[in-house]
Amino acid sequence: MTLTFTKKNSPTEQDFYKRLLDGLKYKGDFGNNLDALYDLLTEPRPNFRIYIKDADFSSAYGGRGEAILQVLKDSCEESGCFTLKIRTKRRKLWQVK
Quick check: 41 and 82 in contact, CB under 8 A? yes
DSSP per-residue string spanning the chain = -EEEE-TTT--SHHHHHHHHHHHHT--S---SSHHHHHHHHHS----EEEEE--GGGGGTTTTTHHHHHHHHHHHHHHH-SEEEEEE-SSSEEEEE-
Task: Going residue by residue through the chain, which has 97 residues, state the pLDDT in tens, using 9 for 90 and above.
Answer: 999 998 889 989 999 999 999 999 999 999 999 999 999 999 988 889 999 987 677 778 888 888 998 999 999 999 988 999 888 665 556 566 5
Residue 33: predicted pLDDT: 94
Residue 31: predicted pLDDT: 94
Q: Alpha-carbon distance 69 to 71, whole Å?
A: 5
- In the chain, what are the domains? 2-96 (3.30.370.10)
Residue 34: predicted pLDDT: 95
Residue 56: predicted pLDDT: 73
Residue 72: predicted pLDDT: 93
What phi and psi, each to the nearest 5 degrees, are found at residue 96?
A: -130, 135
